Amino acid sequence: MKKFEGTFVVTVTPMDSKEEIDSEALKNNVEYFIENKVHGIVVGGSTGEFVTLSIKEHKAIINDVVKQVNGRIPVIAGTAACSTNRVIELTEYAKNAGADGAMIVPPFYSKLNENELFEHFRTVAENVDIPIMLYNNPWTTKVDMQPSLIARLAEIENISYVKESTGDITRIWKILSLAGENITVFCGSDNIALESFIMGAKGWICVAANFIPKQVSRLYELACIERDFKKAQVLYKRLLPSLNFLEDTGKFAQLAKAGLEIVGRKAGPVRKPLLPATDKELQMFTTILNKIQQT
């Protein structure tokens, strides 16, 4: 079983002008990510617009990415849904397709209490034997899994990871102090990555890895492998304008796709109801990325 650590790109789902999935572009982007030394790939995450995909489409992109990666780096499949049975179906499909793990955000329509959340994840974990990464993102789900709940869930054997996306840097040490070695924390907010590594995070689910994969992967290596925080800080300051722009606008799928196009890859439009970034945002973002590429 592969241990998940490092910078994992949460890949976009490329689409054509009719908002149909562009499988070839997805596979080509996988090669681009691997060539640029990402440590893993997440398919079917928020930036991959999973909420707009049919079950058939969701399964197809999981299958495409797993086959293209072919065991070279870990693949984590986003398998979230509002129904526990649907999550089990997607997670079982991901396992059978060859995914190395599943990333699951809480059901995002019903306002579940802590016991309902616990039973949801427990049921999935007991039905599908695959490493599970909890995904705590209260900004989109309106559900905030507290450190105490995460520690409780981490006692379940195959719940071993959490993507922490509250933006609250103190959550990392709170989770680790309660769960200890039962859990590995991944940073889920692009503009607190270095701070998260310092606080004990061992990985980063990264939107910016779509368009600056080499740089964000190198940041993890400097901070967590080489422990050279001086060099890490220099690199981080170079990258922060792009990371802050993502977080400040909240247009993760739009800007990740735009960023890929800026660096010469295919990504296409976002699927409605999302609308593309504005011309002003694209102009600002292009300027930011060009400056990063030049330094």
Residue that the structure tokens 């397709």 belong to: 97
* Catalytically annotated residue among 32, 93, 135, 236: 135
- The H-or-E segment that residue 67 falls in is helix 55-69
Residue 92: half-sphere exposure toward Cβ, Cα within 13 Å? 11
Does the active-site annotation cover 163?
Answer: yes
**Token pair belonging to 230:** 């001086």
Q: How many beta carbons lie within 10 A of that of residue 290, not counting itself?
A: 11
DSSP 8-state class, residue 209:
G
Distance CA 258, CA 268 (A): 8
Contact 41, 8 (CB under 8 A): yes
Q: What are phi and psi of 120, to 5 degrees?
A: -60, -55
Burial 242-280 (b: 16+ CB within 10 A, else e): bbebbbeeebbbbbbbbbbbbbebbbbbbbeebeebeee
* Catalytically annotated residue among 95, 163, 202, 257: 163
Those residues whose C-beta lies under 8 Å from the C-beta of residue 224, and which sit 6 or more positions away, are 5, 6, 197, 202
Positions annotated as catalytic residues are: 135, 163
